[in-house]
Chains A and B, each alone.
Chain A
């Protein structure tokens, strides 16, 4: 079987770059496709302190640059291109891009995930007060009041980061306790600039020139109020980046790709790694672990073909 590549990797976050490192060292003919910029979601993470090897922590951008440099120095080719769709029916797998079709013997999907929206009309304030990225937009809210939404690691860590700039951060969470790692909870609970708004959800955003107020509803009392704020940061989970999949591999009820212990999907030769996978934990540490397995599995798959 003649194909353009042995392996194509979709997505250049920590998973895709790690798979690229393993594949390049295995001397596979590999191409990594990235639609925006290498790094993925860690680019919008201000500080990472749970990835081993960086005792003082490291910024998301610096970590992604290091991973990219490492992969490229091993010979990995990264191309800026968005995948439109896949044709996985034949033995040669087809990756359909805007201007051409690439064929490959094996494929690793590491397309990651994107922040989930609230769907309460926040889109029209995107870039005008509504944000998913504290490290991008936090400094625009110096001495201002902001609302943060969520209760997981991201929401709590980024709320703490926002207190470097904002005079007050209201953290709105639908339950009465946080899901975030205990060390983050401890820091947030003793941070005087953070006020918790428990058992509550955001029901609307309003403003004339930019964002001026965030409507919040208490789920227990049904009481509604408007918090005067110029910023609203949303961290309520993620959605898989799978618009190009179109049922070509099996996914779970939320759209995350299902795989076996070798990271193989429902289609032989198609593997998955990182946040786009149906997995109990989504961290850089788990993404790179998935990716190492996926790359080696792809290598074995190709060996068995010939």
Chain B
């Protein structure tokens, strides 16, 4: 849950994520999830660092049940990296910023 990261929903998921020319990182989160809120500043920092090469969006799993279920998300925070509509990588749980940077670089 990052304040400055674009909120998308089940309806806009295909257009914004799957049809994107740039790789997309989707942050699946919910308001009741402490760790999701705790990693938000890290996600925002990554957006500042890599925002020109990768699109960063978030999906509230409470309001949008379809996309998390389609990608088998049963734990949050889950970050899924999409490239040309396909899953390129996926990270569940709280991890170090360094690990996220490495993942982003490998996806790019």
Contact B34–A60 (Cβ < 8 Å): yes
Contact A43–B96 (Cβ < 8 Å): no
Instruction: Please name all residues of chain A whose beta carbon is closer than 8 Å to the beta carbon of B36 when the two chains form the complex.
Output: 136
Contact B74–A129 (Cβ < 8 Å): yes
A39 at the interface (CB under 8 A from B): yes
- 0/1 string, B49-68, CB within 8 A of A gives 1: 00000000000001000000
Closest partner residue, chain B, to A230 (CB atom): B74
A254 at the interface (CB under 8 A from B): no
A33 → B minimal CB distance (Å): 11
Instruction: Please name all residues of chain B whose beta carbon is closer than 8 Å to the beta carbon of A61 when the two chains form the complex.
Output: 34-35, 37-38
Find residues 5-46 in chain A having any chain B CB closer than 8 Å to their own CB. 35-39, 43-44
Closest partner residue, chain B, to A62 (CB atom): B34
A64 to B94, CA, bound (A): 15
Contact A43–B74 (Cβ < 8 Å): no
Contact A37–B42 (Cβ < 8 Å): yes
Instruction: Please name all residues of chain A whose beta carbon is closer than 8 Å to the beta carbon of B90 when the two chains form the complex.
Output: 127
Query: Given A61-B34, A82-B96, are A36 and B39 also a contact pair (CB < 8 Å)?
Result: yes
Instruction: Please name all residues of chain B whose beta carbon is closer than 8 Å to the beta carbon of A131 when the two chains form the complex.
Output: 74-75
B44 → A minimal CB distance (Å): 12
Instruction: Please name all residues of chain A whose beta carbon is closer than 8 Å to the beta carbon of B37 when the two chains form the complex.
Output: 61
Contact B35–A140 (Cβ < 8 Å): no
A51 at the interface (CB under 8 A from B): no
Contact A209–B72 (Cβ < 8 Å): yes
Find residues 108-140 in chain A having any chain B CB closer than 8 Å to their own CB. 126-129, 131, 133, 135-137, 139-140
Contact A39–B92 (Cβ < 8 Å): no
Query: Given A37-B38, A43-B94, A64-B38, are A135 and B75 also a contact pair (CB < 8 Å)?
Result: no
A210 at the interface (CB under 8 A from B): yes
Contact B77–A136 (Cβ < 8 Å): yes
- 0/1 string, B69-86, CB within 8 A of A gives 1: 000111111100000000
Contact A127–B94 (Cβ < 8 Å): no
A113 to B39, CA, bound (A): 19
A244 → B minimal CB distance (Å): 12
A69 at the interface (CB under 8 A from B): no
Instruction: Please name all residues of chain B whose beta carbon is closer than 8 Å to the beta carbon of A128 when the two chains form the complex.
Output: 72, 74-75
Query: Given A64-B38, A127-B93, are A210 and B72 also a contact pair (CB < 8 Å)?
Result: yes
B98 at the interface (CB under 8 A from A): yes
Instruction: Please name all residues of chain B whose beta carbon is closer than 8 Å to the beta carbon of A85 when the two chains form the complex.
Output: none
Closest partner residue, chain A, to B95 (CB atom): A36
Instruction: Please name all residues of chain A whose beta carbon is closer than 8 Å to the beta carbon of B94 when the two chains form the complex.
Output: 36-37, 43
A135 to B37, CA, bound (A): 12
Contact A59–B98 (Cβ < 8 Å): no
Contact B34–A43 (Cβ < 8 Å): yes
Instruction: Please name all residues of chain A whose beta carbon is closer than 8 Å to the beta carbon of B38 when the two chains form the complex.
Output: 36-39, 43, 61, 64
Query: Given A35-B96, A80-B42, are A133 and B72 also a contact pair (CB < 8 Å)?
Result: no
Query: Given A37-B42, A43-B38, are A139 and B30 also a contact pair (CB < 8 Å)?
Result: yes
Q: Which residues of A approach B to under 8 Å, CB–CB?
A: 35-39, 43-44, 59-61, 64, 80-82, 98, 126-129, 131, 133, 135-137, 139-140, 209-210, 231
